[in-house]
Structure 1
Amino acid sequence: MHSTPVNHATAPSVQETALPAELVDVISSDSLFAQRKALLIEHNGQQYRLQITKQNKLILTK
């Protein structure tokens, strides 16, 4: 039996997909959250929740 090679392509890195610096604003998470642990972002008529986890990481959910 012959095996078929599998392409284990990975997602592009952040650097490979990054926009040019002049098209990106850097906003501090402190200024976004302003002492809150979560906020809602509306995009294309849908709401997404951005929250800070107990491990101090960000998670975005629909």
Structure 2
Amino acid sequence: MNGSPNRPKASLWDTVKAVAWSFFGVRKNSAYQEDLGKLNPLHIIAVAFVAVIVFVVGLVLLVRHVAASA
């Protein structure tokens, strides 16, 4: 007995959805509580880090495109 509860594991897609909803700030409290029970915190950090990098690169590319066409 290692003391870890038997909880359902979330898929990578579940983690991506949770991080995406968190970026928009529109996650329901009930869904948030459900995610706390099944998402791995390290996976959340990794997916959020990648999402931030993609977001920043997207903004830089958008600004460069707008500045070049002005």
Shorter-normalised TM-score: what interval? under 0.3
Looking at CA atoms only, which structure, 1 or 2, has the larger radius of gyration? 1
Using the size of structure 2 for normalisation, the TM-score is: 0.22
Using the size of structure 1 for normalisation, the TM-score is: 0.23
Higher helix share: 2
Where relative contact order (Cα < 8 A, 6+ residues apart) is larger, the structure is: 2
